[in-house]
Amino acid sequence: MGKVKIVGRVVIVTGPVSTGKSSLCRKMVEQYHKGTCRVVQFQRANPSNSAMLENMLKATNKIQEGIQSESFVVIRTQNMTYESLVSLIVSIRVMGYKDEITVIKMNLPEELHIDFWRRNRKPSKVSLKKLKNERAMFQKIMEKDGFEDAKATSVEINNPENIIFEF
């Protein structure tokens, strides 16, 4: 059983597809008892795709509403690069949030990750090729120590089962 210390009211959960981000977010919300919670799905947008840009704008508005209402905000990311993660953190600062941000990096060993994918996902929705492409993209996030923000700390999770959060 692992303990994960959450610092601040904003948590970003990032990792490749099918690493248990959604389940981890649900677990975090269940264990949080200090006030209101808001979970927001945030996906890096392709500038040429207007629907993706619209979804990103809606997510950004939900994040800002959560920050302004002083809720506990959990941001579940999808398809992120290191640069888009840094941009998200900068955006949160522009929204006026000054406190700590916890970034949870879902870094499952490849065998466990593929096992999760086989058990929990419909293989027709997410291909093994996509899973491996996202793992490769995620490695850049793992290689970087920081996010160019002194108040953004990261926590690495290698197995999302049996996690207890400390707030």
CA distance 12 to 89: 9
Query: Do residues 165 and 32 make contact, with C-beta atoms less than 8 angstroms apart?
Result: yes
Q: What angle do CA 14, 11, 117 make, to 5 degrees?
A: 30
Q: Are 142 and 105 in contact (CB under 8 A)?
A: yes
E strands within 121-167? 152-157, 163-166
Give percent of the chain with pLDDT exceeding 70.
94
- Tokens matching residue 26: 């649900």
Indicate whether 68 pLDDT > 60: yes
Q: Residue 87: CB partners within 8 Å, gap ≥ 6?
A: none
Q: What is the pLDDT of residue 126?
A: 81
- What pLDDT is recorded for position 124? 62
**pLDDT confidence band for 1 (50 / 70 / 90):** low
Return the sign of the alpha-carbon dihedral for residues 79, 29, 98, 64: positive
pLDDT of residue 62: 96
More confident residue, 94 or 54: 94
pLDDT in tens, 98-157: 999 999 999 999 999 988 888 875 656 788 898 899 999 999 899 887 788 889 999 999
Task: Pick from 43-52, 80-89, 141-150 the range whose average pLDDT is largest.
Answer: 80-89
Q: Indicate yes or no: pTM above 0.75.
A: yes
**pLDDT value of position 123:** 56
